[in-house]
Structure 1
Amino acid sequence: MRPLPLLIVLLMALALQACSREDFSEDEKALIGQLRLSQLGPLKPDPSNAVADDPRAAAFGEALFFDTGFSVDGTVSCATCHLPERQFQDDRPLARGIGTTDRRTMPLAGASHGQWFFWDGRKDSLWAQALGPMEDAREHAGNRVAFAHRVERAYRDEYEAVFGPLPVLSGLPDEASPLGTAAQQEAWDRIGDDRKTEIDIVFSNLGKALAAFQRTIVHEETRFDRFAEAVIAGRRPEGDAEFNSLEVEGLKLFIGKANCIDCHNGPRFTDEFFHNTGVPAVAGLAGDRGRAQAVEQVLADPFNCMGPYSDAKEEECEELRFMVRDSPEMEGAFKTPSLRGAANRLPYMHAGQIATLEDVIDHYSAAPAAPGGQSELRGVIFTDRGRAALVALLKTLD
């Protein structure tokens, strides 16, 4: 047989390669299409936060975010754990402020699209979430009255431009809080109810300004998005949008046999819900029940959507009103994190229990019993190439 000219051989090889990279079924294309960042859409309004999209509130919130003056010793700000240059997280297995917490810092890009906040969802709005670390003894370790004094000294104009006049703070102690030290709690108990409400309004407004800033922290387009847009448009991906065969294989696994898309779906690669995936406990830490222990916390939170400091009407608080309250599936369940940027955000899981992406895939493959509750994992056997393919895909989301 006469050998084919080299040029024809090369063209045939390229054609076969192109087919292997773009040969997706219509069902696969539909799944790929819903993962594109372009499908995320604009942020929904937050009825519980009247200044959620006020640029003045966002500017005020940005100043608060980087101000260490809102901590007990002037060393900790929100940015201490949420580092802008590291996807607004800190690369630590456990967050560290004044002390060390028992959970990992979550990244902030796109977080405002979620319904529940923290790994266990114990807060139902971004502004309520922002308040938690400020009084946590392991994080900012601050207190409400001290925060109000700080605003009066450093941010009166910025605060009043957004929220109106600050209350009169004369006669109040330097420090007081219902959640602080014993001395701070005693000082709080001595404050009259009307003045407590005034302080709580200032405190909640700080959270609302911080949330307005955090709503401006968004995901950036990635190689995956450029590839997916080309696939959906029927175009051949070009430049860095072109996937190699391993990345295509990883994508097919992700939306197919590996079942990753069951929880990591939508443009943020998360269903924004809670799942028990059998993640091991952390030696030295108390057992963590995840979502199961958070339900009562969010219901009792005075800063929740239906609380007195929310700007929402009760009927606008659908997530809180109709949330799952008593289900065995919530035991040991944690929020599904976004996979955008995850390849460069190790370690993994809610307390950094798993070191690398390869280890995460091995964990999902082995499907170990959960330390509490019932794991949802059923186990998928991956070849070495399959594991490498999934890792290659996840790197396209950086």
Structure 2
Amino acid sequence: MLLAVLVAGCERPQFSEAEKRTVASLALSALPPLKPDTTNRYADDPGAAALGATLFFDFSLSRNGTVACSTCHQIGQQFQDGLPQGMGVGRTNRRTQPLAGVAFSPWFFWDGRRDSLWSQALVPLENPLEQAGNRAAYARYVKARFGERYERIFGPLPDFAGIPASASPLGSVAEQSAWSGMSDGQRDDINRVFANIGKALAAFQRSIMPKETRFDRFAAALAAGKEPKDDAVFSAEEIQGLKLFIGKANCSTCHNGPLFTDHAFHNTGVPPVADLPPDRGRIDAVAQVDADPFNCLGVFRDGGPEACGELKFMVRDKPELIRAYKTPSLRAVAGRPPYMHAGQFGSLEEVVAHYAKAPLSVEGVSEVHPMQLSERERVALVAFLKTLSP
């Protein structure tokens, strides 16, 4: 009898056919080819990507010459920075997001206030807390430093005669005044160069993809009906965590697909940070994306308006949008604490504890309900999450 019990205890947990299908849907091998971005005709242009890479690491694309895109999106940190809130020229209000697989998303930033990768890339350039520059100065800089490269990709640069050195509809009073004093044609010329800077940056960022992980190797073996080998062998604890993730804990309701995200917005009762400005998430972002001159329906979009379905049918005023934030990808999640949109939790254990308790939201209604997870189950869930790293 004792021998039978010991043998039974050594048997590997079995997965149902439904569980196998769910696990397969999460594997990196299920990631479809990246669709062309018809709003950016340069999205897959190698020359644009090369220029974008140069600009991404260029500290001159900031007001004080000390901040680049790579300041917050660091290669060695999964293209993020490990801080609770990003630090550019000043301290921002939210956590820097990693970039692996970012081009698969229909919305950008934690609140989705931009609807394309290229329009997203423009925001930090003029944000006073990030790179804090202005579009006229950027256009002049690109012409002076990269004029020949730019023109090989995008065509002739405009004549900047009579255009102020610094001007933008955003920024300082002087910059806004200079912008207002320009002609419509001059403003359009600057905006076109500015949009192309974003399109080059997006072409580079499209190349940043997630790497295969232990989980992917385990999922491949499971799908093939084979015993996993080497580091693809999951411990009993990791298998329990996986089963919880796709089952009892309901994590895969939102963290689904090969990128472990539904790309949607959810209020999960995450508390605000006391010393940061009020942040209502998605509900305040819809007006911003509608008003953005670089959005999919704007004149700087390449291609036709048929690509703009997400913007045309965007949910704009439902109460569910209050304090709703985009579901982050969980790929390589163990290596990038702290967590949530403003770094509210310092560890995966704290994140799991939050979802188990499911506190009420300070505004709006949280979608999360309390989970009855034992301490052992919480540990197992964290153990599984660690398998999502290369």
Q: TM-score range by the shorter chain?
A: over 0.9
TM-score, normalised by the number of residues in structure 1? 0.96
Q: Distance in 1 between matches of 2:178 and 2:156?
A: 24
Alignment of 1:142-181 (within 5 A): 142-181=133-172
Counterpart AA for 1:337: P
Identity across aligned pairs (percent)?
A: 56
8 A contact 1:99–1:139 mirrored in 2: yes
Counterpart AA for 1:188: W
8 A contact 2:12–2:236 mirrored in 1: no
1:27 pairs with one of 1, 18, 21: 18
Please list the CA deviations of residues 259-297 of structure 1 after superposition, one character each: whole Å capped at 9, or x if unmatched.
Answer: 000000000000000000000011022221100000111
1:298 maps to 2:289: yes
Q: Displacement, 1:326?
A: 1.6
Q: Displacement, 1:18?
A: 4.7
Please list the CA deviations of residues 347-396 of structure 1 after superposition, one character each: whole Å capped at 9, or x if unmatched.
Answer: 00000011110000110011101011100011102111111101110100
1:193 pairs with one of 184, 205, 214: 184
Alignment match, 1:208: 199
1:119 pairs with one of 101, 104, 110: 110
Q: Distance in 1 between matches of 2:128 and 2:11?
A: 56
8 A contact 1:305–1:312 mirrored in 2: no
Please list the CA deviations of residues 46-65 of structure 1 after superposition, one character each: whole Å capped at 9, or x if unmatched.
Answer: 11101001111000000000
Gaps of 5+ in 2: none
Counterpart AA for 1:318: G
1:236 pairs with one of 227, 242, 255: 227
1:284 maps to 2:283: no
1:316 pairs with one of 267, 289, 307: 307
Alignment of 1:354-369 (within 5 A): 354-369=345-360
Q: Distance in 2 between matches of 1:158 and 1:341?
A: 35
Alignment match, 1:342: 333
Alignment match, 1:66: 57
Q: Distance in 1 between matches of 2:324 and 2:303?
A: 28
Q: Displacement, 1:323?
A: 1.4
Q: Distance in 2 between matches of 1:198 and 1:279?
A: 43
Alignment match, 1:104: 95
Q: Distance in 1 between matches of 2:313 and 2:83?
A: 34
Counterpart AA for 2:336: R
Q: Displacement, 1:157?
A: 1.4
Counterpart AA for 1:101: T
Q: Distance in 2 between matches of 1:281 and 1:226?
A: 38
Alignment match, 1:267: 258
8 A contact 1:246–1:389 mirrored in 2: yes
1:17 maps to 2:5: no
Q: Distance in 2 between matches of 1:370 and 1:312?
A: 41
Alignment of 1:130-145 (within 5 A): 130-145=121-136
Q: Distance in 1 between matches of 2:90 and 2:276?
A: 14
Q: Displacement, 1:307?
A: 0.3
Please list the CA deviations of residues 159-214 of structure 1 after superposition, one character each: whole Å capped at 9, or x if unmatched.
Answer: 11110011111222211111010011111111111010000000000000000000
Task: Name the SS of the counterpart of 1:155 in structure 2.
Answer: helix
TM-score, normalised by the number of residues in structure 2? 0.97
Counterpart AA for 2:10: Q
Q: Distance in 1 between matches of 2:51 and 2:264?
A: 31
Task: Name the SS of the counterpart of 2:142 in structure 1.
Answer: helix
Q: Displacement, 1:16?
A: 5.5
Q: Distance in 1 between matches of 2:241 and 2:303?
A: 43
Q: Distance in 2 between matches of 1:287 and 1:154?
A: 40
What's the Cα RMSD here?
1.5
8 A contact 1:306–1:312 mirrored in 2: no
Q: Distance in 2 between matches of 1:39 and 1:254?
A: 18
Which 4+ stretches in 1 moved above 2 angstroms?
15-20
Task: Name the SS of the counterpart of 2:12 in structure 1.
Answer: helix
2:343 pairs with one of 339, 348, 352: 352
